[in-house]
Amino acid sequence: MSRQFKLGIIQALVLSFSYVLWTEVVTGPLNNVPVGLMTAGLPYPFLNDMVLSDRLEFYGISILTGVFFYFLFWLIDRLGISYFWSLKK
């Protein structure tokens, strides 16, 4: 795998984990709305209806889905350019 691919994955993970930290550590505690069944202040109402473990599972699945699609489209790009159009990158 190329250096560009690895840097892209690292950037995506840093951005994703930063968003989770921002949401859970800054946004949630400093806001009172929206209000849910379990907590208040998180940016999306459905997150306020989840306990922390459920939210962490949701974040993890979302991050893994993003990484999966990053890899999938990288692979499609590599295969498409190399095999279908006989072009070199």
Q: Where are the domains of the chain?
A: 3-84
pTM of structure: 0.83
pLDDT in tens, 17-68: 999 999 999 999 999 999 999 999 999 999 999 999 999 999 999 999 999 9
Instruction: Specify whether the CB–CB gap between 63 and 13 falls below 8 A.
Output: yes
Please give the average per-residue pLDDT across 62-85, as a whole number: 85
Instruction: Specify whether the CB–CB gap between 12 and 67 falls below 8 A.
Output: yes
**Token couple for 43:** 């940016």
DSSP 61: H
Tokens 């306020």 appear where?
48
pLDDT for the residue 89: 54
pLDDT for the residue 54: 97
